[in-house]
């Protein structure tokens, strides 16, 4: 019986991958991004209008240093790319990117030079779309010792955090509010509609490390148990779990990351 269930599950996965492959060939779906491109956001609300290259925001570098809630809760970045309306003026006032990129927490708009020399402007370190920029941090060199994953940007971020390869900062002095210590709920099990698929085990503990509670509740998920009923189609469409997974967090193609409970 176990063997039959395993073969059935394997066939389902193969069918999913074949469907996606045909979709790529027929132009129904955008190509899968390269590891160093995954989760990058091109911000071009005002750049092109002002004849400057758009900003390329790389999640991989920022997520190796900060929790998600520092940016999306404390700094009020929208969860949707381009939805924040960042301006140079707001950054210069210490909002959004300017909360960190001030020359103290991270590099600022320009670096002070030695006496008699011109200050070095750092515009191209952010406004880099289509430009040949010599970055201080490059994806493959920066992540070469990180544990690997099959999809997304090829990095197992949960294992990297668990192994202390990355130290996540969860507080910005003068900006972040005090985090109240609360008792986190335990794991929850969700039954998929397809009987051949293993159950989904949701870990509150793992998500709390990166996002806390406020980032998910109540905007994305109801806090009441049993009220969150969703489908894979909705997740693939960017709702519920798909708000992060498949965009920034590990890819929704990696079924075994969520469907982890072994079948009896």
Residue 24, pLDDT above cutoff 50:
no
Same domain for 62 and 94: yes
Residue range 1-6: average pLDDT?
A: 52
Judged against a pLDDT cut of 50, whether residue 22 lies above it is answered with: no
For residue 154, being part of any structural domain is answered with no
Q: What is the pLDDT of residue 80?
A: 86
Q: Are residues 10 and 82 in the same domain?
A: no
Q: Which of 94, 126, 142 finishes a domain? A: 142
One-character DSSP codes across 20-39: HHHHHHHTSSPPPPPTTTTT
What average pLDDT is seen over the chain? Answer: 87
What 3-state class would DSSP assign to 263? coil
Residue at 211 is within a domain: yes
Asked if residue 153 is part of any domain, the answer here is no
Q: How much is the pTM?
A: 0.81
Q: Which of 10-24, 85-99, 204-218 has the highest mean pLDDT?
A: 85-99
CATH number at 60 reads 3.90.10.10
Cα 111 from Cα 122, distance rounded (Å):
7
Q: Is 50 exceeded by the pLDDT of residue 25?
A: no
Question: Is 82 a member of any domain?
Answer: yes
Grade residue 250 by pLDDT with cuts at 50, 70 and 90: very high
174-196 per-position pLDDT tens digit: 999 888 777 878 888 888 888 88
Model confidence band, residue 1 (pLDDT cutoffs 50, 70, 90) = low
Structure token digits, residue 33:
């991004």
The total domain count for the chain is 3
pLDDT at site 193: 84
166 inside domain: no
Q: Which domain holds residue 210?
A: 180-264
| Spatial separation of the C-alpha atoms in residues 158 and 28, rounded to whole Å | 32
CA gap 240, 220 in Å, rounded? 6
């Amino acid at each position: 019986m176990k063997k039959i269930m395993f073969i059935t599950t394997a066939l389902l996965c193969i069918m999913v991958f074949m469907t996606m492959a045909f979709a790529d060939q027929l132009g129904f779906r955008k190509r899968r991004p390269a590891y160093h491109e995954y989760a990058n956001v091109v911000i071009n609300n005002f750049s092109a209008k002002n004849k400057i290259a758009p900003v390329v925001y790389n999640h991989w570098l920022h997520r190796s240093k900060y929790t998600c809630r520092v940016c999306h809760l404390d700094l009020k970045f929208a969860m949707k790319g381009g939805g924040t309306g960042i301006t140079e003026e707001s950054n210069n006032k210490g909002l959004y990117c300017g909360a960190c990129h001030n020359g103290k927490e991270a590099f600022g708009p320009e670096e002070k030079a030695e006496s008699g020399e011109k200050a070095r402007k750092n515009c191209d370190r952010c406004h880099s779309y289509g430009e040949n920029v010599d970055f201080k941090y490059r994806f493959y060199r920066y992540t070469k010792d990180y544990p690997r994953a099959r999809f997304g940007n090829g990095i197992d971020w949960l294992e990297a955090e668990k192994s202390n390869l990355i130290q996540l900062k969860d507080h910005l002095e003068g900006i972040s509010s005090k985090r109240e210590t609360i008792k986190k709920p335990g794991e929850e099990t969700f039954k998929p509609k397809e009987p051949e698929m293993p159950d989904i085990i949701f870990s509150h503990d793992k998500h709390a490390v990166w996002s806390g509670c406020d980032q998910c509740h109540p905007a994305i998920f109801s806090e009441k148990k049993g009220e969150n009923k969703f489908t894979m189609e909705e997740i693939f469409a960017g709702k519920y779990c798909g708000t992060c997974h498949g965009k920034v967090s590990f890819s929704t193609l990696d079924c075994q990351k969520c469907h982890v409970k072994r079948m009896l």
